[in-house]
DNA sequence: CTGAAAGCGCTTACAG
DNA sequence: CTGAAAGCGCTTACAG
């Protein structure tokens, strides 16, 4: 590889100063049009590559934004990421992605990396057990944070997520209105705000309808298709098993439906199933899944914008933004089967 | 936020030079044990954050590796990424991820960003139409590249991918051995090496068995669940429609099965379907999908290692590494139905 | 409109 | 084993 080309290479070749080259390349109005064009043409011709590390060291802005979620392989996060991506692209920010798999240590390592790289900000779905101090520490070191999907009590930052209690209440009420009285809640965990809220919404709806809730009807844990598939056995083995299942998310619901089908029953006919998120594949599942649209696009878009606002110095209040979910009724729910 | 803490802050406080601090923090044997401990303890105590931009500007190593694929939302790539991640984690490299969605411009922008950040290397599944010059340019500017999944003719870099022609031949031969004679190939495109190879493998198997291949039996294009779902209509509308479909990947196969089920037919009984990749969800699909294991883990692991080898100066030959696929037979394939 | 000079926070020869 | 000094490649006041 040839001699490294830098600003001064261009400056020397054209008989101007590096200051002029620097300004010209960034389209500063301080530089005469003709000078600017001459410089830009030459830079392109010799294949100049802008050194962002050097610039960033000087300006202490890196153009890097970090995004950390539980698992990008989860389509729920993937859909959020997609909209974050398109929002950040527009303002020419590079983003660095990481999974924390709900391990606090991995999350801390990543935040540390961002600090070392001088990242401009971070969008995070906090790992289970994230203490508010972790977020405070980042902010104090110049790394503003915005939260998605989950909240952290005591962290004074903006949070964007769906109204989870309202959402599961929608699903549960839909099942109740079809005539179901024994309804199970499958998946999720009390260790996250989302988990607590979704369970609460289900409880609220059941109680408001005067329906009994048996402890065994809750099968906590599953969050993946695989786990939903495996939960089918446990669900069907419940004494007087429920006629409907309100699932933690679409993945669990689709897995459960597969497990139910594998056991020789027909989901949507023998057992009604609701999902949560309305992933792209909910509509093409067999049967098509009744689910709660969770506003992934909206969450990603608003979170990215809030962060960009913070970066540009706009005051952003540390508020909870709850996106209103919507029920999308499809074929996986119906009247309870006569027995 | 308090006064910025840097090496010299520590040096001043402890009455040593910045050189000593720098060496101590990196565990250099040149520094006395007691001095090192004193320095490290103090650094931790006052919350020192290492500035990687400054270090990288000096050393011209950034500890950043870029990864660019068509779409990280695609579980096929997600599984590859997972193994790349665990391999890179181990050697403490940060990785930056990007989708190119098969747009050459997006891919170029990303490579440019990597060059500007002084990334140490890039692992890429090249976008359709990537000219070898793009890869050559990156390498000449100090960004070594390793290819996954697809190859680029004329690019002298290591490539890790499955033996695609062999893989679809496995699937096709399996269908033939069950007694199918009218077999369709659904999905993929001739614009990628993978697309050409997979179609060729299907053709080879059909011809070797002396079976006719009608042009209409190939439905090119679909690569997603949604597209596979939509292709079901076209497939079922074929005159004397085939009794089996060899699909581009698991997503198309699962989508197609859903579409077939929606049309009132039973996949695995009325129509046999094979996938490709053996994603985690292939095993829990309904019916469980017969598919070709494509070695995602292996591809990711080997590609990451090859890049790390390149970075450490080991000579890596620009060879094609073909991972041997394996057929996993499940319930989505069976004997053709009598008509 | 353009140039000379300082400085961002590290690491690396070079001395001692 | 430790320190003084130069330099990585930019940008930013400050002069003119």
Which tens digits make up the pLDDT trace of A237-277? Answer: 998 889 999 999 999 999 999 999 999 999 999 999 999 99
Select the residue from A26, A73, A296 to test the B interface by mutation, using most B Cβ atoms within 10 A: A73
Question: Which pLDDT tens digit goes with each residue over A150-201?
Answer: 999 999 999 999 999 999 999 999 999 999 999 999 999 999 889 999 999 9
Q: What is the DSSP letter of B162?
A: E
Percent of chain B at pLDDT above 70? 99
Asked if B286 lies within 8 A of A286 by C-beta distance, the reply is: yes
Pick from A75, A98, A99: nearest CA to A249:
A75
Q: What is the DSSP letter of B289?
A: P
Question: Which pLDDT tens digit goes with each residue over A90-135?
Answer: 888 998 999 999 999 999 999 999 999 999 999 999 999 999 999 9
Q: What is the pLDDT of residue B338?
A: 65
Question: Which pLDDT tens digit goes with each residue over B199-248?
Answer: 999 999 999 999 999 999 999 999 999 999 999 999 999 988 899 999 99
Q: What is the pLDDT of residue A338?
A: 65
In whole angstroms, how large is the CA radius of gyration of chain B? Answer: 26
pLDDT at A339 over 60: no
**For chain B, which domains are there?**
7-50 (no CATH), 61-162+296-322 (3.40.50.2300), 164-294 (3.40.50.2300)
Does residue A52 reach within 7 angstroms of strand D, measured from its CB? no
B142 CB neighbours in chain A (<8 A) are 1
Q: What's the average model confidence in pLDDT over A49-74? A: 93
Q: What is the pLDDT of residue B39?
A: 93
- For tokens 């890790």, name the residue: B160
**What DSSP assignment string belongs to A16-33?**
--HHHHHHHHTT-TTS-H
Q: What's the average model confidence in pLDDT over A19-25? A: 93
Q: What is the pLDDT of residue B339?
A: 55
Distance, in Å, from the CA atom of B61 to the CA atom of B144, rounded to the nearest integer, reads: 13
Is B183 in a helix, a strand, or coil?
Answer: strand
pLDDT at B301 over 90: yes
Please tell me the distance in Å from A2's CA to the nearest CA on chain B: 8
Residue A260's Cβ-count burial label (10 Å; 0-12, 13-18, 19+) is buried
More confident of the two residues B164 and B73: B164
CB B123 within 8 A of CB B307: yes
Question: Which pLDDT tens digit goes with each residue over A67-79?
Answer: 999 998 888 999 9
Size of interface A-B (CB pairs under 8 A): 107
Nucleotide closest to residue A4 (CA–C1'): D9
Distance, in Å, from the CA atom of B220 to the CA atom of B203, rounded to the nearest integer, reads: 14
Pick from B119, B58, B54: nearest CA to B93:
B119
In whole angstroms, how large is the CA radius of gyration of chain A? Answer: 26
pLDDT band, very low/low/confident/very high, at A3 (cuts 50, 70, 90):
low
Nucleotide closest to residue A14 (CA–C1'): C2
Nearest to A53 among B118, B258, B261 (CB): B118
A255 CB neighbours in chain B (<8 A) are 284
Q: What's the average model confidence in pLDDT over A289-294? A: 97
B258 CB neighbours in chain A (<8 A) are 284-286
Question: Which pLDDT tens digit goes with each residue over B43-65?
Answer: 999 999 999 999 999 998 999 99
pLDDT at B1 over 70: no
Contacts of A231 (CB under 8 A, 6+ apart): A186, A187, A219, A221, A222, A252, A255, A256, A259
CB A145 within 8 A of CB A177: no
Asked if B116 lies within 8 A of A255 by C-beta distance, the reply is: no
Q: What is the pLDDT of residue B319?
A: 84
pLDDT at B138 over 80: yes
Q: If residue B277 lies in a helix (H) or strand (E), which one and from where to where? A: none
């Amino acid at each position: 590889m040839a001699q490294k080309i830098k600003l001064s290479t261009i400056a020397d070749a054209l008989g101007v100063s590096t200051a002029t080259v620097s300004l010209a390349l960034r389209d500063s109005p301080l530089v005469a049009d003709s000078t600017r064009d001459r410089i830009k043409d030459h830079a392109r011709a010799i294949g100049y590559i802008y050194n962002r590390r050097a610039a960033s060291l000087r300006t202490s802005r890196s153009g890097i934004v970090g995004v950390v979620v539980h698992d990008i392989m989860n389509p729920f996060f993937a859909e959020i990421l997609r909209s974050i991506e398109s929002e950040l692209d527009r303002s020419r920010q590079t983003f660095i992605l990481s999974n924390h798999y709900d391990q606090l240590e991995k999350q801390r390592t990543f935040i540390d990396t961002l600090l070392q790289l001088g990242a401009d900000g971070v969008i995070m779905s906090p790992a289970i057990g994230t203490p508010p101090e972790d977020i405070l520490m980042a902010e104090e070191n110049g790394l503003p944070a915005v939260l998605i999907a989950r909240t952290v009590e005591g962290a004074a930052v903006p949070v964007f997520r769906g109204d989870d209690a309202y959402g599961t209440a929608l699903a549960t009420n839909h099942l109740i209105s079809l005539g179901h009285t024994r309804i199970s809640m499958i998946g999720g965990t009390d260790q996250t705000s989302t988990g607590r809220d979704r369970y609460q919404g289900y409880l609220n709806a059941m109680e408001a309808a005067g329906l009994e809730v048996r402890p065994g009807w809750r099968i906590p844990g599953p969050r993946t298709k695989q786990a939903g598939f495996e939960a089918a056995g446990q669900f069907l083995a419940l004494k007087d098993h429920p006629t409907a299942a309100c699932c933690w998310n679409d993945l669990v619901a689709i897995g459960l439906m597969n497990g139910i089908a594998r056991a020789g029953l027909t989901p949507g006919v023998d057992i009604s199933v609701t999902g949560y998120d309305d992933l792209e594949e909910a509509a093409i599942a067999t049967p098509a899944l009744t689910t709660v649209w969770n506003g992934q696009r909206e969450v990603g878009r608003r979170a990215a914008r809030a962060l960009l606002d913070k970066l540009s110095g706009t005051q952003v209040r540390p508020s909870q933004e709850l996106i209103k979910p919507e029920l999308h009724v499809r074929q996986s729910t119906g009247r309870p089967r006569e027995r």
